[in-house]
Structure 1
């Protein structure tokens, strides 16, 4: 058994999710015991700098290096804090870092994905072996570098007889499609995964804009629930090329960011939509894009959908997904399957670190499009100035 910290911050850039877990087993016998989960907010100035870079703000190499170290230090502080709060010491840290740029493979060229928060800085600051930079190895063999979670979902959330979709609702949405374990002779056979499109990112940007930064998200979807959905707009937006692509596919703020929101707001003016109507319509885009991607890419719809990530707490979004899927497909959260829905993504990077030190490949080519399974992550061993 290993005691591991998992660290990650997603495209919402709302803070660093940290878990402290005990992990035993390898793949089919993988077991994760969640000891603690916390979200540590970025300092406001650091968060604004990250958001500016994600939005394409130019940055000198020197400034990039400074930002890289500042993010790493924030991640290290989160790791130190969660251990101190539990009076426990971890054996290993798995850090996803902070994605600031993601470009999928295109025209025969490898993709590119940049996560800031250097693992060697985290290892030095915490005195703990650290695995980081998990996407690079998958990209190097032709993969999207995303989503990386389907293999973990397979090991922790599969059902003996049900087809399940595990739908993450972070800034960007992604799905893992899990076949019944009883029908899977080989681990990973039949598993698929892809990014479904925007989840919280456009909603959060809109709320921040409507409130001049006083609010950063629509708690529970209460604001959106007061609005009216503009269906013609949803149907128009669903014709965006990303939604028509076949998996494997991935995306990020480079596509679904401030410029995309601005275009949506300009479209909405023709329908004289109020702010609540805009939020309701953007919420419907998220729900409809998820359901459309299932119908386009799956031979049959799943028996159950399990939601996770921050958007799983958005009651209105969850209701809209349920309505569009129909009552025959229950929509619940991974909480109901024994995995904390808020902590699941951070847990995933703890598991990936566990697999990395054991020499177990972490990607699924059927989800990322990679040419082969590979070890994910770079290992950094702590050292001291005195040697």
Structure 2
């Protein structure tokens, strides 16, 4: 898959057995392939433009769809080097537009580029893609889709847990104690920005020479402005109850520019610290608003789980909660999302419904993904 940051393709080669419960997983190989290694050098800039709602001809959209598919097929082939050959590909693709249902009874829309049929053609492997569409067709948000996998792999019999993904956009899975037995009581939603605003700010501050705050070192030199954070927490998305999902449409360059105008009194380190604290504060705020109780454990994954400063801000806002990484529980924190789409593809071939209506708001459970034979 490739996430909101549009920085490359995360590929994971996994060995799976069993069904939904128990599900057995072994990670054989995992790697992030920058788009520049897999495709023409202007692909990332074209995708960023498309995801920023800049108009483009349909012919160019079709070409982008093909180019992304070719990049994903190359990533799938490279991850098999010196490994057992794969039997199936699950591809989330590259999201360039996401519009949740505007009102109950209406349908949303989500567009992921990277045609599954072309990936199957180039790789010679059956490919499952377009995972969000089936959930959207029955009234769901089409996201988040990872919570049932979190329940299978990370639920605890006695402890309430939150699994917090810190990619470009953040999303949470709430796993009440023992939920892996019946999938009851599981909640989940997009929490808002995780790394996206920080990454955009770093790119601007360094004129593109740096794309993220390595280990949160720059932000750690600053001090957050609590008044600004509280002001930004009034954003309508944070007030909206779940089910909910979001993307660059809500938290992208335009919003960052607006926030930057309000933060002119801050130096670069304080500006980054304040954006980082917004991520932490918005996550904690959403737990306090929308969970039946705060979790005993908070398990982090995604790129932001490698940011000690972000983790320290989360601990400050959730002092009674024990923080850890999914690495600590045997699930690779950097590649958990890619692993999840391998599992969703596996479940699709088994015919299992794999959305959770309690998370997405769909009217019923449905199998997710379109199957493309080679």
Structure 1 position 133 matched with structure 2 position 126: no
Aligned partner of 2:85 among 60, 69, 89 = 89
- Asked if 1 retains the 8 angstrom alpha-carbon contact of 2:151 and 2:180, the reply is no
4+ long deviations beyond 2 Å = 184-187
- How far off its partner does 1:238 sit? 0.1
Aligned length: 369
Tell me what 1:363 maps to: 355
Alignment deviations for residues 100-146 of structure 1 (CA, whole Å, 9 cap, x no partner): 00001013421110000000000000000000000000000000000
Alignment deviations for residues 46-88 of structure 1 (CA, whole Å, 9 cap, x no partner): 111111111111111100000000000000000010112x242
TM-score by length of 2: 0.97
1:150-299 equivalent positions in 2, closer than 5 A: 150-181=147-178, 184=179, 187-269=182-264, 272-299=265-292
- How far off its partner does 1:329 sit? 1.0
Structure 1 position 374 matched with structure 2 position 366: yes
Aligned partner of 1:106 among 80, 85, 102 = 102
1:38-53 equivalent positions in 2, closer than 5 A: 38-43=31-36, 44-53=41-50
Structure 1 residues 304-313 or 108-117, which shifts more? Answer: 108-117
Structure 2: 5+ residue stretches without partners = none
Task: Determine helix, strand or coil for the equivalent of 1:57.
Answer: coil
- Taking the aligned partners of 2:131 and 2:208, their CA distance within structure 1 comes to 32
CA RMSD of aligned residues (A): 0.9
Alignment deviations for residues 276-312 of structure 1 (CA, whole Å, 9 cap, x no partner): 1110000000000000000000121101000000110
Aligned partner of 2:145 among 116, 141, 148 = 148
Structure 1: 5+ residue stretches without partners = 1-7, 383-387
- How far off its partner does 1:228 sit? 1.3
Alignment deviations for residues 184-225 of structure 1 (CA, whole Å, 9 cap, x no partner): 495211000000000000000000011110100000000001
Tell me what 1:58 maps to: 55
Specify whether residues 185 and 238 from structure 1 end up closer, same or farther in structure 2 by C-alpha distance, changes over 3 A only. closer
- Taking the aligned partners of 2:176 and 2:121, their CA distance within structure 1 comes to 41
TM-score by length of 1: 0.94
